[in-house]
Structures are given as structure tokens and as C-alpha cells.
Amino acid sequence: MSTAGHVESVVTDPKLIGERRGQIVRAAVKLFSEEGYYTTTIQQIAREAGVSTGLIYQYFGDKDDVLFLSLKLVLETYEHEIPPRLEGIEHPVDRLCMALWAYCTIVDGLREATILAYRSTQSLRADRRALVKEDEARTNRLIEACLHACVAGGYMRKVNEYLLAYQTVMFAHAWALKNWAFRDKYSLAKYVAEGIALLVEPFLTARGRAALDNMKRRTGNFSHEARDALRKPRAAPRSGSAGANK
């Protein structure tokens, strides 16, 4: 008996499976997000992907398989792409801000898929919904770990790390869900800066605020490539500086 996460394929070549499924999933994400899961047919997905209906059934058993892999695509992208963007960034405040920045930029590239995840997760069968929720929870735990490091290091006062992690995730997702409202008011960089002002800055200690000010100077408040700026070694605090001993 196949497991909930297994999707049957008539084709056995892993490389071909990956290529074809990617092609079909990209088409499905577009249609599911625009037309809705229940309205979209396999025939429409085939036309959008430029393949035959029969070919889709060589790589997927049914439409639930297509939706499941579509949702897995977006959630696994969050999970796999955020950690590499934190590599080489050691300061807890830098890591937290970078995690939010990375999450928002990934969402920016996956706006349709992010919307799909909100609209259509409930359309999956129950065992697959559980898998999708666990995928999301793993990314949330990454954000929670960044928050915990800030609290443990004395850069942030004690907060409900679990709830604040969810608020941070919701803020990142909102860039896709409410992009129609935000795109004329904010650049992505400005949106991230406002998110830090709302979700990070109010909870910082004096020591944390000094670290955040340092980060803003180094990144131009996210006006240029923040990752490279944050990977550069921080300057040692000056003796007697206000932020060094608090």
C-alpha cells in the first residue's frame, strides 16, 4: 500500500519524472491559483503545459496528486532555500532579519503558488493535508529558532516565540496574498524594512537595538543585497559604547 506522500508514475526514469512533473506542476499552479482547484480540469492543465492528457496520467494518478506536488513544491522551496541564505551569518539579530528577508524574497518568486497553498490545502485528502502542514511547521520552527537565539543572547526580551514566528510567516505570505494592495506602495525592500519595524524592533533590548542599527547601516536598510553585507564580519564594539554592555 502506498504512503500518503507517494505519487505513482508509469515512467521510471527519475530525471524524466522530475522534468515532466515540474512542467506539469508549474502549469497546474497557474491554473489552480487563477481558476480554483475544483474548476480546473486535467485537460486544461495539459493544454497549459503543452502536453497531452494521457501524458499527465503517466506521471500522476489523479488531480489530487497534481495538487499535492504543487503544494509540496512551494513549501519545500521555503524549507530548502531559507537555510542557505543564512549560512555565514552568525549574529542572532542579523539571522532573524535575514530569515524574514529571505522568506519574503522567496514568496515574491512564488506568489501564485503561495496563494494556491492558502486556497487549496483543504482540498487535499486528509492524510496529505497532514504532510503539507508538517512541511509548513518545519519552516516555522526555523523562524522560531532565530527568535529564540535573539532572546537567549539578550538581544530580545522574552516573547511568545511560537506565536511571533507565526506572525512573521504570515507577514511574508501576505506579500503574495495582498500583493495587489502592497505593490504600488512598497518595494520588496521597503516591505521587509517595515516588517522588521513591526515584528522585530518593538521586542529588542537596548543591546538588540544597537545590533539592528548596525545591520541597517551595513545593508542600507535592505536597499542592496543584504546577504553579502551581513556575512561580512561585524566591527568590534567600541570600548564604553552604549550598546556593548547592555
Number of C-beta neighbours around residue 19 at 10 A: 12
Q: How far apart are CA 202 and CA 199, in angstroms?
A: 7
pLDDT in tens, 179-223: 999 999 999 999 999 999 999 999 999 999 999 999 988 887 766
pTM: 0.81
Phi, psi torsion values for 234, nearest 5 degrees: -70, 145
List helix spans (H) across the chain.
Answer: 14-35, 42-49, 53-59, 63-86, 92-109, 111-120, 126-152, 161-177, 179-182, 188-199, 206-219, 226-231
- Please determine, for residue 140, whether its predicted confidence score (pLDDT) is greater than 60: yes
How is the chain split into domains, by residue range? 70-231
Phi, psi torsion values for 82, nearest 5 degrees: -70, -50
Q: Quick one: pLDDT band at residue 245, thresholds 50, 70, 90?
A: very low
Cβ neighbours of residue 95 under 8 Å, at least 6 residues apart?
86, 89, 146, 149
| Assigned CATH class of 70-231 | mainly alpha
Distances (CA, A) of 86 to 55, 89, 95, 221, 230: 40, 6, 6, 17, 9
Cβ neighbours of residue 47 under 8 Å, at least 6 residues apart?
none
Q: Quick one: pLDDT band at residue 1, thresholds 50, 70, 90?
A: very low
